[in-house]
Amino acid sequence: MSQQFFELIRPDHNFDFVGKTKPLLISSAILIVLSFLMLPLNLIIPGRGHALNFAIDFRGGTEMRVDFSKPVTPGEIREAMDAGGYKDSEVVPLPEFKHAFLVRFPAVSALTPEQAKRAESSLRDKLGQESLRKFEFSDGGDKAYVRLNKAVEPSQIQDILRAADITTSQVQRFGRPEDNTYEIVLVGLDQEIRKALDGKLGQGAVASIPSVGSVGAKAGKELRDNGIVSLLAAIGFIMLYILVRFDFRYGPGTVIALLHDAIFVMGAFAVTYKEFSLTTIAAILTVIGYSMNDTIVVFDRIRENANKMRDKKFSQIVNLSVNETLSRTILTSATVFLVTLAMNIWGTGVIRDFAFAMNVGVIIGTFSSVFIASPILIWLNDKSLQSQKKPRRSSGTTPA
Amino acid sequence: MERSFYYRVATYSLITILSVMALLPSLAEWTNKSERLPDWYKKAFSRKISLGLDLQGGLHLVYEVQVDKAVSDKADRLAAQIEEKLARDKKVKGARVIREGDGAEARLRVNFQNKSDAKKLDGSLEREFAKYLTRDGQNEQTGETVYKMDADYIDELRSYAVSQGVETIKNRVDKLGVSEPVVQRKQNDIIVELAGLSQADFERVKSLIGKTAQLEFKMADDGSEYMQKLSAHAESKKAQYVGLDVGFDAWQQKDSGQQHTDVYLKAKDKAVLEKFLKELPPELTVPSDHQILFEQTSRRNDDGEETQDKVWRSYYLHRRAELTGEYLTDAEVQWDPNTGRPEVGITFDSEGASLFEKVSGANIGRRMAIILDEKVSSAPTIEGRIGGGRARITLGGFSDPYQLQQEAKDLVAVLRTGALPAPLRKTFETQVGATLGPEAVSKARTSMVIGTLAVVIFMLIYYRTAGLIADIAMVFNVVYLLAIMALIQATLTLPGIAAVVLTIGMAVDANIIFYERIREELRAGKTPRQAVENGFGRAFWTVFDAHVTNLVAGVVLYSYGTGPIRGFAVSLMAGIVCNLFTSVWLSRVMFDFLVGRNKKRATLSI
């Protein structure tokens, strides 16, 4: 009568998930705290310097037009840039020009912050405290601007900077003469890049670098703010839907679980210091969707069983439901994990980062629906029973 | 088999055929076989999935922000403020503040009727403007005082003009629905990168980006002495400026019956008018507190009907704007009840509304010009005090109703996103190639194929025949998803493709939920037919809830998000809908076929 299936997990299993939540909840909380801690920590870890390894999408950087003397591919250029220490560059071919490319890379300054400070203070010292009205240098650019109260010879500025160990290729007057603004062209970035590219692609590979400039972030403040607003709104509406379809006890568990997952993925990026780009945001959004999906399936079973088994303790019902859906939970995670793992192993660049986020997210998403969302549901259920203060049989009973 | 089964099969087949047809143009383009499709087909299914900047490249535009205009505009506003302050707070009569020069060279010249009034420009007033202006000199004889713009403030204004410009353009391109555009700042320039659009779309985007969308309301100085002199001069120069003519306006104010007349210049060619004004003798130059702007109107025939004949005419206006687009809260396309032509209705905020009411109340019988980007769009006569804060902009230029409507829509889009703080000038335009080289794309393709195959094989091993059904459903799922993306003209980037592949992994999820349920039913001793019936029935709400919560998230992300978030939301929503359809209904049909043929079969390959 009974049919045999190919099974990974025997249907009559009954693991005690609910009983084991406490240590897991605690370790989860610790990991979440660590995820956040990693952000300021990254600022001081040598070689890192940013909370997350923000891509040029968020940080802006340098854009350089490079003309080559022979045909090269974007991939070769990217490799050469990597080898020269300019990681995560973006190479855009300009087919209307001969062997020309736009190369963009995250802000690598021609002037370190200390150098910039030193330049400013020595200008102040030499020209008088009051005379320096403004010293302006944008991260990633190769030009600095000074505005003075009085006119000086450009060569004088160049000499002062040279004394401070900052070599400049040119200093010239800029803008209205009465403003006494000077443009300082710093040596460097184009020469450095030329060296890096020539080193890998052969001497004389770079014909010329016609333009260098700093570019702003693709994703500005507004995008960030909009992203946060839309995320909060999405969470609100999900809560509302769950409130309508389930009841209030089910909402917070789902939402906390998905926030947990999002933070965790971000933490993974903080720890590994992988590039954090707009694609990563998309991956985190996917993880959130996935995690929610997972949680809803488990909750659905809990709701169904709760209606059927009024006499059991709620925590038992939750444990039973988690067990019943376990096979499905593991299978789904396995299929998604398979796809993203393949992309992680055999993919490149952007795809790999996307797949990495998903790999982490799938595992965490599965974990959170069992060990985060369900305990919160049990806890809220107990709370609501207590607040109802009904002298029912026991405090753990499911409400009708 | 039941009748409904055949109905369902017929419906799903139809949907599938339509999807494939919608998808064909995109597939043909990717494989360079577009020319094999017949022309009628290309016309019927013109919508395609375009590939993103990373896969296909696109257009790279560089705009220079004309920051000097932002500085000049600010100088104009400061001039107006100083004039008002002098008149209202310091009780100085007849003081005039005039801007000279543009951009950083802008200077404000304060003229007094009485020399003694010059000392009213005292410390308290200057302190108020200290952030913006520094004194550049004072004429001992006339009391005339000159101010120049503060250098730091100019920097601030310029920087703001560029950063605000970037945000505004981003919003505009987003409103167009072009997915994943890149808009970023490069020093004082704005770089816009757009992925594979059609030539017509490129043109539309460019015109939208280029619109400053500065909306101004200025009063016409009707019946002025200056225009009399100017028209007399124009009459005498008709031979030199071919096509130049003088026209007369006459109107009666409805309530008071007061008569108004005015003269204006007109020509078919705007360049003639501009040339004439440029070459005016010094004694006839336009006074600095006035300006002359033009409107393109249709010539009326003898019956008073509009003709196709377009002509440019002048308006002599007070330079100061009574009201600007800054006070605008909303804009919408509406239809003129008389002509049925599309126009744009605008709504002011409360401050704008009260200003509008005040101005209209004080100028009954005069004409107020509505100016968009230095062009008069119309200049209606004010018949009475206008409350409520609403106005409308009529469109000239095109006469084709479809084009007019398109123009109205674009205008609404730019008005809603707000004016650019300074006009833009395109300095560079070039094609850019794909940022990902072929080697990177092929690697990504390999990884995705491996991932997909892994899932397909896994499902076959684990669920046998049912696994095959899930795999088939998955193929349909991808076809439908891509068809929807083609219909909404989505842009596909490499991460976007990864997301599509990911939906494959997730697509089998709903199937797994159903199958596990069916297995439970079978274990409980149900017949295959019952088990399928019950399994699909019971698990439906689980699948439904899981999908709808995701859909809710997608809708919210779409409505609040911008740029890449929006693009992501679109693929997400399309994926969810297709997923629900294939897993719930399409798979069910296949199962019904499987269990329906042999009612007595004891086992189900699942």
Asked if residue B254 lies in contact with residue B271, where contact means CB atoms within 8 angstroms, the answer is: no
User: What's the average model confidence in pLDDT over B194-219?
Assistant: 80
Q: Classify each residue of A42-81 as buried b or exposed e, where b means 16 or more C-beta atoms within 10 Å of its C-beta.
A: beeeeeeebbbbbbbbbbbbbbbbbebeeebebbbbbebb
A217 touches chain B (CB under 8 A): yes
Asked if residue B389 lies in contact with residue B234, where contact means CB atoms within 8 angstroms, the answer is: no
Judged by CB atoms within 8 Å, which residues 297-326 of A form the interface with B?
297, 300-301, 304, 324-325
User: What's the average model confidence in pLDDT over B137-143?
Assistant: 81
Asked if residue B146 lies in contact with residue B109, where contact means CB atoms within 8 angstroms, the answer is: yes
Cβ distance B434 to A93 less than 8 Å, yes or no, reads yes
Kindly report the average pLDDT of chain B as a whole number.
83
pLDDT on residue B393: 80
DSSP designation for B381: B
pLDDT on residue A267: 93
pLDDT on residue A393: 47
pLDDT on residue A30: 92
Cβ distance B430 to A282 less than 8 Å, yes or no, reads no
Q: Nearest by CB to B553, from A95, A234, A355: name it.
A: A234
Find the range with the poorest average confidence among A394-398, B194-198, B349-353.
Answer: A394-398
pLDDT on residue B388: 80
d(CA A400, CA B189): 65
In A, minimum Cα distance to B563 occurs at A223
Cβ distance A336 to B435 less than 8 Å, yes or no, reads no
> Distance between terminal CA atoms of chain A?
36
Cβ distance B568 to A354 less than 8 Å, yes or no, reads no
Q: Which residues of A touch B187 (CB under 8 A)?
A: 141, 213-214
Which of B486, B563, B493, B568 minimizes the C-alpha distance to B172?
B563
- Structure token pair of residue A300: 């659905």
pLDDT on residue B179: 61
SS in 3 state form for B85-153? HHHHCCCCCCCEEEEECCHHHCEEEEECCCHHHHHHCCHHHHHHCCCCEEEEEECCCCCCEEEEECHHH
Return per-residue pLDDT of chain A as tens, 400 residues.
456 777 777 777 788 888 888 888 888 999 999 999 998 888 888 777 778 888 877 777 888 899 998 888 888 888 888 888 887 888 888 888 888 998 888 866 667 777 778 888 888 888 877 777 778 776 656 678 888 888 888 888 888 888 877 777 778 888 777 778 888 877 667 777 888 888 888 888 888 888 887 787 777 666 667 777 877 888 888 888 888 888 888 989 999 998 999 999 999 999 998 888 877 887 888 888 888 888 988 999 999 899 888 888 888 999 999 998 888 888 888 888 888 898 899 887 778 888 899 899 999 998 998 889 999 999 998 888 888 765 544 444 454 4
Question: Would you place residue B306 in the very low, low, confident or very high pLDDT band (cuts 50, 70, 90)?
Answer: low
Q: Which residues of A touch B455 (CB under 8 A)?
A: 335, 338-339
User: What's the average model confidence in pLDDT over B5-9?
Assistant: 88
d(CA B466, CA B517): 13
Contacts of A195 (CB under 8 A, 6+ apart): A84
Most A CBs within 10 Å, among B190, B556, B558, B573, to test the A interface? B556
DSSP A119-186: HHHHHHHHH-TTTEEEEEE-TT-SEEEEEESS---HHHHHHHHHHTT--EEEEEEES-GGGTEEEEEE
Most A CBs within 10 Å, among B102, B179, B468, B513, to test the A interface? B513
Measured in angstroms, the CA of B564 and the nearest CA of chain A are apart by: 7
Tell whether the model's pLDDT for residue B78 goes beyond 90.
Answer: no
Most B CBs within 10 Å, among A10, A218, A280, A287, to test the B interface? A218
Cβ distance B565 to A3 less than 8 Å, yes or no, reads no
Tell whether the model's pLDDT for residue B14 goes beyond 90.
Answer: yes
**CA angle B57–A58–A289, rounded 5-degree value:** 85
Asked if residue B167 lies in contact with residue B192, where contact means CB atoms within 8 angstroms, the answer is: no
Domains (range + CATH), chain A: 18-42+217-386 (1.20.1640.10), 61-108+190-213 (3.30.70.3400), 113-187 (3.30.980.10)
Question: Would you place residue B382 in the very low, low, confident or very high pLDDT band (cuts 50, 70, 90)?
Answer: confident
Q: Which residues of A touch B561 (CB under 8 A)?
A: 226-227, 230
User: What's the average model confidence in pLDDT over B557-566?
Assistant: 70
User: What's the average model confidence in pLDDT over B164-184?
Assistant: 78
In A, minimum Cα distance to B191 occurs at A215
Bridge-based pairing of strands B245-252 and B259-267 is: antiparallel
Cβ distance A91 to B435 less than 8 Å, yes or no, reads yes
A330 touches chain B (CB under 8 A): no
DSSP designation for A203: T
d(CA B16, CA B251): 65
Measured in angstroms, the CA of A97 and the nearest CA of chain B are apart by: 9
Q: Nearest by CB to B545, from A73, A74, A296: name it.
A: A296
Cα torsion through B538, B540, B542, B545, rounded to 10:
-150
User: What's the average model confidence in pLDDT over B295-301?
Assistant: 74
A94 touches chain B (CB under 8 A): yes
Cβ distance A338 to B60 less than 8 Å, yes or no, reads no
Radius of gyration for chain B, computed over Cα atoms and rounded to the nearest angstrom: 33
Which of B49, B24, B22, B47 minimizes the C-alpha distance to B34?
B24
Q: Which residues of A touch B463 (CB under 8 A)?
A: 6
In B, minimum Cα distance to A11 occurs at B520
Asked if residue A135 lies in contact with residue A122, where contact means CB atoms within 8 angstroms, the answer is: no
Torsion angles phi and psi, residue A197, rounded to 5: -70, -45
A241 touches chain B (CB under 8 A): yes
pLDDT on residue B97: 83
Cβ distance B498 to A343 less than 8 Å, yes or no, reads yes
Cβ distance A293 to B552 less than 8 Å, yes or no, reads no
Asked if residue B394 lies in contact with residue B377, where contact means CB atoms within 8 angstroms, the answer is: yes
How many CB pairs below 8 Å do chains A and B form together? 267
Higher per-residue confidence, B281 vs B251: B281
pLDDT on residue A158: 81
pLDDT on residue B448: 84
Tell whether the model's pLDDT for residue B418 goes beyond 60.
Answer: yes
Question: Would you place residue B113 in the very low, low, confident or very high pLDDT band (cuts 50, 70, 90)?
Answer: confident
Share of chain B above pLDDT 90, in %: 6
Cβ distance A75 to B455 less than 8 Å, yes or no, reads no
A38 touches chain B (CB under 8 A): no
Question: Would you place residue B367 in the very low, low, confident or very high pLDDT band (cuts 50, 70, 90)?
Answer: confident
Most B CBs within 10 Å, among A281, A339, A353, A358, to test the B interface? A339
pLDDT on residue A268: 93
